[in-house]
Amino acid sequence: MRCLYVRHPFAGWIVDGIKDIEYRTRATKVRGRVGIIQSRTGTVIGDVEITGCTYNEELDLYEWELACPVRYAKPVPFAAKHGAVIFLDVDYNPDAQEVAPKLSGEAIRREAAAYEAALQKFLHPALIWTVCMKDGRRIQFDSDEELDKFEAEHIAEIDHIESEEKE
């Protein structure tokens, strides 16, 4: 099956139905079902249909339109091939994969807020990340790397992630 490489956390947002547009510098003629490879993991975490591709003049990027997302209960491992950057053919049967349960309403709201913050940061680079802790504290980060490290260490204490403009 043809699979698309996508960075974390965007790959998860795609297969969970949060992200329905993939921004790329190149157009694609590919249509139909493709697997989603979470970059650097050597696993296919789900699949989605590419239904269209349009050019966004304002962003100077192509918008790959996505639909019918599926997250697999167990990621499918594969041997990564060096040099593959966008698509890779992976030998597996997507119809044989067990589907993971859908996210709860609360999880969808949390992930949608995190995706919206990431999208705003992408569209407006003058934004910084803010993590809202369950105890009400707000912690700001100037880089994705700082945020990722903090989130990995404190995921149970985080309420949601948003963004604010730099002053």
Domain containing residue 86: CATH number? 2.30.130.30
Q: How many domains does the chain divide into?
A: 2
Cβ contact 66:59 at 8 Å: no
Co-location of 87 and 117 in the same domain: no
Q: Give the pLDDT confidence of 31-45 residue by residue, as tens digits.
A: 999 999 998 888 999
Last residue of one domain, picked from the residues 96, 128, 143: 96
One digit per residue, the tens of pLDDT, for the chain of length 167 reads: 999 999 889 999 999 999 999 999 899 999 999 999 998 888 999 999 999 999 999 888 899 999 999 999 999 999 877 665 688 899 999 999 999 999 999 999 999 999 988 887 777 665 566 777 777 777 777 776 777 788 788 877 776 565 555 54
Co-location of 12 and 89 in the same domain: yes
- Look at residues 129, 124, 152 and name the one whose alpha carbon lies nearest to residue 141: 129
Co-location of 17 and 53 in the same domain: yes
Last residue of one domain, picked from the residues 73, 96, 119: 96
Co-location of 88 and 153 in the same domain: no
The four Cα atoms 55, 36, 144, 63 give a dihedral, to 10 degrees, of 10
Tell me the residue range of the domain where 152 lies. Answer: 105-165
Co-location of 135 and 71 in the same domain: no
Last residue of one domain, picked from the residues 76, 96, 116: 96
- Looking at the chain, list the stretches that DSSP marks H as alpha helix, in order from N- to C-terminal side: 10-15, 105-123, 144-154
> What pLDDT shows up at residue 85?
67
